[in-house]
Amino acid sequence: MPLATKILKRHPNSRPLGLPDIRKTSRATAAALLVHNIPCCLFGSAACSMYGMRRVPNDVDMVVLTDQHTPEDLKALIADTDPKFFLVKSRTPGATWKILYYTLPNRGFCKADILLPGILSIPTVPIERIRYMRVPGVPVMPIVAVMLLKLQGWTDHRDSEREDFQEKQWVDIDDIRDMLNVWAKDHRSENVHTEQWMPADFVDAGQGRVIEFLEECPDTVAHWRVIGLKADRVPVLSAHAA
């Protein structure tokens, strides 16, 4: 039976993914793109795990720093370059995109989402600002930008009409708290002033989300201030608790 057929019959995460699975998938994705001299970097939960977040992510999010290819072109290119990757047609009604999976050594699979700057307000990261953290060969977005995008994911989940997405907001809060502690321990020298490549509207949007996050977690105010985000307007009562 073809692998793409198997995956339609069995969820790829029928067993929990481990951190080595995320690392293997991240490294393989970056390596396949490097063959074609296409730069990229992790963001999302996979990037958080490279910095030291305790929770193991469910998949890999990679932003590819190019304007010469579409996400679908890049997925096909990766699958053609490394036979351990394969594409599966989305089961979303009316969807035209395919989902990219990486075959793990223990017969499991890990999804790799491929995005471009501008999608989901992802900023274009200068090549010289890309980080290499715990795993050789795995490029990672700078930590401050990663946290601002995690804040965006939190508000998107919180405000979603889908109950399954709404439930993810609590995981997001835990992840953001964890990342703030990671930042405070190992990356305090990085802040919005050292990351001046970030677009002003991206930082401004993050500023607004910090104010909202402080409604839920007012004890994180000191960290946000040191990061360089104003955190003075903390409501007395959470709007979401009212």
- Tens of pLDDT, residue by residue over 117-139, are 999 899 999 999 999 988 899 99
Burial pattern 223-238, b for ≥16 Cβ within 10 A else e, equals bbeebebebeeeeeee
Please give the model's pTM, rounded to 2 decimal places.
Answer: 0.87
Confidence bin at 95 (pLDDT 50/70/90)? confident
| Unique residue bearing structure tokens 């994180």 | 220
Model pLDDT, residue 26: 97
DSSP class per residue in 120-159: GGPPPPPGGG-EE-SSTT-EE--HHHHHHHHHHHHHHHHH
Burial pattern 33-64, b for ≥16 Cβ within 10 A else e, equals beeeebbbbbbbbbbbbbbbbeeebbbbbbbb
- CA-derived radius of gyration, the chain: 18
Confidence bin at 233 (pLDDT 50/70/90)? low
**Average pLDDT of the residues in 72-96:** 93
- Tens of pLDDT, residue by residue over 162-175, are 999 999 999 999 99
d(CA 140, CA 132): 6
d(CA 184, CA 138): 23
